[in-house]
A = this chain, B = another copy of it.
Amino acid sequence: MADPTATAPLSRTADTSAVQIYLRELHDRITAAVEALDTAKFQRDCWQRPEGGGGESRVLTDGEVFERAGVSFSHVHGLQMPQSASNLRPEIAGAAFEAMGISLVFHPRNPYAPTTHCNVRFLVAAPQSAPAVWWFGGGFDLTPYYPFDEDVLHWHRTARAACQPFGAGVYERYKQWCDRYFFLPHRNETRGVGGLFFDDLNEGGFAHCFGLTRSVGDHFLPAYMPIVERRRSRPWGERERNFQLYRRGRYVEFNLLYDRGTLFGLQSRGRTESILMSMPPLARWEYDWRPDAGSPEARLYEDFLRPRDYLAELDANT
């Protein structure tokens, strides 16, 4: 059910410059937090898109904590909405569009520290024969190699806190959406332990939707940083490294086969290096590999790579 105000002329309903200011500030905040934690600095590349707009990619490589961390801001516009963005909204296929967002993927070096992804985005489409529509999307999700219950619990508690002021059932709905979205049908596995995912958010008015999106963006650092700080120095060896590289192959499979953001970026002829900075620095594939029964690697498959209500199961205080 679309909010009727969402289809009024954009200038009357949506303050795009407020969204852009927020995204830029969040970009800086996240970059600063990572640089405060790690030994390396971000390389910053501004780029322009020939068809309209541009962005700024920040990539940190070979830090002590992060093997690669990428945080991108982009703000693009064009005359033809890419197909991957309009699957859910056939009425805007081919419409003029404007899209802005930040997107990040962090690949820590320590196999006990999880990979993570966060994205917040705002889109406007202006079909020729219908009023303009806007919507928000976003979320964050966690991909551990060797999961710790306390980390998963902290992650989902923080996700719930992000949603809590915005009504009953928001966390539950976005948590389930995340489980459905970050799923590899050809492996019958979730990508990790989930988190939040939402798209097409335009119900309740611009202020409500922007507020919720901002809350998700603001809760990313408090959700992730304590986990990577706890795990960054845990000793690991060749076995853990091999498993990390093997599981990173799944991350590659998901991003290139299914991820709408990646496909949207490539189809809209965004900057390839900025889109694919989500790729891990090194990944491994091994034919028909299976973990030994009872091993820590088997625990990931058996206990985590499927949708679970972690808060109900793990949180004594829920």
Contacts and interface: CB of A to CB of B under 8 A. Distances in A.
Contacts of A245: 282
Contact of A282 (B70, B269, B284): B284
Interface in A264-316: 266, 269, 272-273, 275-277, 279-288
A269 B281 CA distance: 29
| Oligomer copy total | 2
A253 interface: yes
A282 B68 CA distance: 17
- Place the interface of chain A in its size category: 20 to 34
Interface in A24-58: 43, 45
Interface in A253-267: 253, 256-257, 266
A280 B248 CA distance: 13
A101 to B, nearest CB: 19
Given A245-B282, A252-B256, A272-B186, A59 B266 contact: no
Nearest to A256: B256
A277 B287 contact: yes
Contacts of A266: 185-186, 257
Nearest to A263: B257
A249 interface: yes
A37 to B, nearest CB: 19
A276 B285 contact: yes
Contact of A256 (B257, B277, B281): B257
A187 interface: yes
A176 interface: no
A272 B257 CA distance: 13
A16 interface: no
A61 interface: yes
Contacts of A276: 186, 253, 285
Contacts of A70: 287
Nearest to A269: B186
Contact of A272 (B187, B275, B284): B187
Contact of A252 (B186, B252, B275, B277): B252
Contacts of A253: 256, 276
Contacts of A249: 279
A51 to B, nearest CB: 14
Nearest to A276: B285
A255 B275 CA distance: 17
23 contacts: A43-B287, A45-B288, A59-B288, A61-B286, A68-B287, A70-B287, A185-B266, A186-B266, A186-B272, A245-B282, A252-B252, A253-B256, A256-B256, A257-B257, A277-B287, A281-B284, A281-B286, A282-B282, A282-B283, A282-B284, A282-B285, A283-B284, A283-B285
Given A249-B279, A273-B287, A280-B285, 6 more contacts: A45-B288, A68-B287, A186-B266, A187-B272, A277-B287, A281-B284
6 closest Cβ contacts across the A-B interface?
A256-B256, A279-B285, A59-B287, A273-B288, A186-B266, A186-B272
